[in-house]
Amino acid sequence: MGRRSTEAANRAPVNRQRTLEVALAVADGEGIEAVTMRRLARELGVEAASLYHHVNGKDQILDGLVDLVAAEIEPPKPSADWRESVSQRARHTRTTLLRHPWAVSLMASRTSPGPATLRLLETGIRCLREGGFSIPMAAHAVSTLDSYVHGFVLQEVNLPFRNESELAAMTTAIMKTFPAAEFPYLFEMTIEHVLQPGYAYGNEFDYGLTVVLNGVAALRDQ
C-alpha cells in the first residue's frame, strides 16, 4: 500500500547527521538524560531499532554530540597578543558550554575525540606557540587553562540555583541546617560576599581567568 511510502517520502531521511541534530535539540531542550534511542527515534518518525542502521550505538551519538559542541566554539581571532587570543578561546569555550550545559561532563568522559575537538586543542596550542611558548611550556599552559575553564564551567552549570533569590534561599537553608560555629569562614563569606546584592557566581570566571593567565605568562618567560 502507498500510505507507508508517502509517509516515508514526506519524512526527511534518517541518517547520522539528522540523528545528531535531533539529539542536540533534545539535549538542549530537556537535558542529556532525555536523549534516549527511543526518544530520538520517535522524534525522527521511526522505531528505536531502526537507528542502529545509521549509528553504531548510543556511545557514538554522545561522541557526535560532543564534537558538535566543540565545533560550535568560535576560534579566537588571530591576534599578535597571545594573551588576548588565549583569553578569547577560554571565554568562547565557556559561553558555548553554557549554551549546552550537559556538554561539559560529556566532553571529559568521552573516549574518542572528533575533528572539532582536536581542532579546538590545536587552536589553543597554536596561540601559545605563536606567542612564544616553548613546546613543554605550551603543554603546561594549555593543560592548566583548559583544566580551569572546564572545572569552572562544570561547577557553574551544576549550580542548584538560577538567580539571586534562589541562591539566597538555598544558602540560608544550608546555614540553618548547620551551627554557625562549625563553618565560621564559610558563613562569613556567605553573608558578607555571596549574599550581597549583585553577586553572581559566573562573575568569578574572569577573575580566575586573569589569575591563570598571569600565572601562565610567567611560564612563557621562564
69 and 28 Cβ atoms separated by less than 8 Å: no
The footprint of DNA (CB under 7 A) covers: 1, 4-5, 8-9, 13-14, 35-39, 41, 45-50, 52-54, 57-59
Interface with a second copy, residue 140, by CB under 8 A: yes
Query: Rounded to 5 degrees, what angle do the CA atoms 99, 17, 36 make?
Result: 65
Choose from a second copy, DNA, none: what does 210 bind? Cβ within 5-8 Å by kind: a second copy
Q: How far is CA 168 from the centre of its chain?
A: 26
With CB under 8 A as the rule, give the number of residues binding a second copy.
58
Interface with a second copy, residue 154, by CB under 8 A: yes
Choose from DNA, a second copy, none: what does 49 bind? Cβ within 5-8 Å by kind: DNA
- Give dist(CA 41, CA 8) in Å, integer: 14
Sign of CA dihedral 19, 20, 21, 25: positive
| Contact positions vs a second copy (CB under 8 A) | 105, 108-109, 111-113, 115, 118-119, 121-122, 125-126, 129, 135-136, 138-141, 143-144, 146-152, 154-155, 158, 160, 174, 178, 182-186, 188-189, 192-194, 201, 204, 207-208, 210-216, 218-219
